[in-house]
Structure 1
Amino acid sequence: MNFKPANIECQMSDEKDPLSKKILNNICLSERTVFTPADFSAMGSCEAVEHALKKLINDEEMVSIGSGVITRARRNRITGEIMLAAPGGFQQVALEALDLLEVAWSPCVADLQYKAGDKQLPIQTTVRVVGNYKPELSFRRYKVRYEE
């Protein structure tokens, strides 16, 4: 799945601490949309990075989609609600998160059938996973489902 990087606004308010500004700047310059605290470990201590990421989540600059997995966020121009800042929506974010977490996955049967010409469009993000590690990834009503 190839998507162009999300066009995230990088307006940093003056009230952000220097580490939060640095992390947000890195995120804005990155082509990725999903991150873990380890991506910023060179910027400060583990506690400082965790604190800065929590601040970005509280300020609605980022959204947590699972334990230790965060993604870009943006405000919907129509509703004003916070949403994922990824062109491919939750599916793009979820699949990128699985890759980032080094989870070996493949498309589910419904995705394969659709790509082969079936007219039934899969509506949920569902994947097959090799192994037992199936991270819980979700955002609001969206959730990654795992096929047996």
Structure 2
Amino acid sequence: MTASSGVNAPHQSFVAGMGFASAASAGELIALLQACLAESGLHSDQLVAIGTHRRRQTSPLLLPLALHFDVPLRLFDEDDLCGAGPGLAEAVASMAGPLHLYRRQSAFATCALARCAPGFSLDIFGQPSSSSAVMASSTLLTSIAGP
């Protein structure tokens, strides 16, 4: 169920809110977000950011997700999300504007999409992720796995 229906003009911008368990894979997150965009009749170039909870900032899944869609990743603390929505994905997405696609889920992830409200700015949407933290966690996992 979408909060609005119909095909959207290419100039409209959207944000994805993502939640995921440690058992999720980058492929699962990418596939879920692609499915949500398709269900909404949106193109990936309409996506301007992906947001999630700050506790996931070192997850090695985030860098491949953000790189796949070529958008910045934004992080939110509990205080940011308090009362913003019934679930993490919806709460994060709703920080950008009205929900367009309510939570969808796969085995280990959730996704919601919001249309960016007039005046939306990435400068005030969450906190930028530290790519070094994401890279460090990715390097650590690679190091543990061996050559």
Structure-1-length-normalised TM-score: 0.24
Higher RCO (C-alpha under 8 Å, 6+ residues apart): 2
Higher percent of residues as helix: 2
Highest Rg: 1 or 2?
1
Structure-2-length-normalised TM-score: 0.24
